[in-house]
Structure 1
């Protein structure tokens, strides 16, 4: 297996792809799979068509990233497109993107169809993939994960990120070899010839406040402990920070103080999937980027700016699972929350440097997304916010 990345910030998407292909050809001759991350300013039709002409036998999955991205070359700010290319003649790979035809009410059906198509495109029908890369547009990530598990019958490791744009204006997208959509999902299935390892984490901790969810409406938490959810959250925020939270800026102010739901425990220590408040509704509810069900207990979580800076490197290190200093991975993929990125944007070069050091210079690509999907250590698949998801490819098979 070989992995290489290349990027271009050229304003012309056609020129950008030409430069990327020229760079990739130094390492990759006939890629099996291309993972493409790009910002909203790029022309994804041109990118898809140009890559398809240059690599007609490669499977492609593309996803939009918020305001930039990271590769082993560092943090790239603003308009850009990056391609993560994998060449593995002994493995097999397939991708598929499908549109939600009826809003998102048919998400489960479309997810299963996309999964089946991706497996067919890999020429491994009837075999469980070892890894799934998932990129969907915002809105029904939990339904998508549930549908994948239902179709496969088991929990296959997933690394995923929800398509993002620059300013929450709906300019996100996903694409494959043949299609692009701003309302759908993309799936890539992996049957690699080498060993893979994963990590999914946040680094946030509980701070002593919890409540039962007593009323929800879609992704709006209307009541906590039978009180308006925003009132409860304001009290928690004031108590922990000694500051007031303002409705119009709750997205930014809550980045270091999200809500968490316990997903499991490791050695008696609980771990959590996080939910990022996005807005306060007129009736005093809190709109979220995840589903939260009535009856669940939510906890106020806390993190720090420095934790957000160092966490990506730590999660990658956890995914690498180093035992010897001379072990170097082939490459990797990472997903980093856009909300975290926006809060520490002035320190992203440090984030990129730590990721580069952890990967020991091996090629990797990292997108900034509006939701993260992954598999916790005990096997649970989850969709959360303010999370980091990563997969690393190793030389050995076992």
Structure 2
């Protein structure tokens, strides 16, 4: 039986081309590797810790060789999820779903209709060698700043000034299109 998982995206980067109009599909087949897929819906942000911990525990014994995670990137804190998925000896890769520069809704699909507020984990078992790598296109620019107040992944103050005030100063006319316009400066 095939397991089908996926998520919405904020775009795709291939070489120096950035697009949010593409669909990326991958099909993987194994002859001797077992795959286990588990998912959970998280309706309340307060439930992220317990739901992700329950999901991770479903992969505790025997330990998988690798975990792959996809999550709704707008309603679930990636930082909280990562803390709960940190299982010693098990590498974890994956990502957070997005919706380009709209920051309105994102979704994850696990063997059925797409849903918001969902976390999916795929465990890979057996005689399997896993390698992974990453690269990012973010580059520093402008003066160095310090986040002085935040809650989880939401920044409220930068250098003791309201974050929106700092962004408005640097983005000028583009600030009316925040948060999406902040991504204008993300790509090399």
Q: TM-score with structure 2 length normalisation?
A: 0.75
Question: Out of 174, 179, 185, which is 1:246 matched to?
Answer: 174
Measure the CA separation in 2 of the matches of 1:252 and 1:179: 27
Shift of residue 180, structure 1, vs aligned partner: 5.1
Shift of residue 234, structure 1, vs aligned partner: 4.3
Match of 1:189 in 2: 123
Measure the CA separation in 2 of the matches of 1:131 and 1:158: 6
Match of 1:116 in 2: 57
Question: Out of 100, 105, 112, which is 2:42 matched to?
Answer: 100
Contact preservation (8 Å) 1:97, 1:179: no
Measure the CA separation in 2 of the matches of 1:68 and 1:205: 18
Shift of residue 148, structure 1, vs aligned partner: 1.1
Match of 1:209 in 2: 143
- When residues 90 and 251 of structure 1 are mapped into structure 2, their CA distance, relative to the original with a 3 A threshold, is same
Structure with the greater alpha carbon radius of gyration:
1
Contact preservation (8 Å) 1:95, 1:186: yes
- When residues 213 and 176 of structure 1 are mapped into structure 2, their CA distance, relative to the original with a 3 A threshold, is same
Shift of residue 256, structure 1, vs aligned partner: 4.6
Shift of residue 179, structure 1, vs aligned partner: 7.3
Shift of residue 94, structure 1, vs aligned partner: 0.9
Question: Out of 146, 151, 155, which is 1:221 matched to?
Answer: 155
Measure the CA separation in 1 of the matches of 2:7 and 2:99: 10
Match of 2:81 in 1: 144
- When residues 91 and 62 of structure 1 are mapped into structure 2, their CA distance, relative to the original with a 3 A threshold, is same
Shift of residue 142, structure 1, vs aligned partner: 1.0
Shift of residue 127, structure 1, vs aligned partner: 3.0
The secondary structure found in structure 2 opposite 1:211 is coil
Contact preservation (8 Å) 1:61, 1:187: no
Shift of residue 155, structure 1, vs aligned partner: 6.1
Match of 2:5 in 1: 61
Match of 2:30 in 1: 88
- When residues 257 and 169 of structure 1 are mapped into structure 2, their CA distance, relative to the original with a 3 A threshold, is closer
**TM-superposition CA deviations, 1:353-377 (whole Å, max 9, x none):** xxxxxxxxxxxxxxxxxxxxxxxxx
Number of positions where the alignment pairs a residue of Structure 1 with one of Structure 2: 181
**Could you list the runs of 5+ residues in structure 2 that have no partner in the other structure?**
none
Contact preservation (8 Å) 2:70, 2:95: yes
Residues 284-303 of structure 1 aligned to structure 2 (within 5 Å): 303=187
Q: TM-score with structure 1 length normalisation?
A: 0.39
The structure richer in helix per residue is: 1
Shift of residue 189, structure 1, vs aligned partner: 1.2
Contact preservation (8 Å) 1:132, 1:159: yes
Measure the CA separation in 2 of the matches of 1:65 and 1:132: 20
Question: Out of 175, 185, 196, which is 2:109 matched to?
Answer: 175
Shift of residue 227, structure 1, vs aligned partner: 1.7
Contact preservation (8 Å) 1:61, 1:96: no
Measure the CA separation in 1 of the matches of 2:6 and 2:138: 29
Residues 197-346 of structure 1 aligned to structure 2 (within 5 Å): 197-207=131-141, 209-235=143-169, 237=170, 244-257=172-185, 303-304=187-188
The structure richer in strand per residue is: 1
Shift of residue 87, structure 1, vs aligned partner: 1.9
Contact preservation (8 Å) 1:131, 1:157: yes
Shift of residue 192, structure 1, vs aligned partner: 5.6
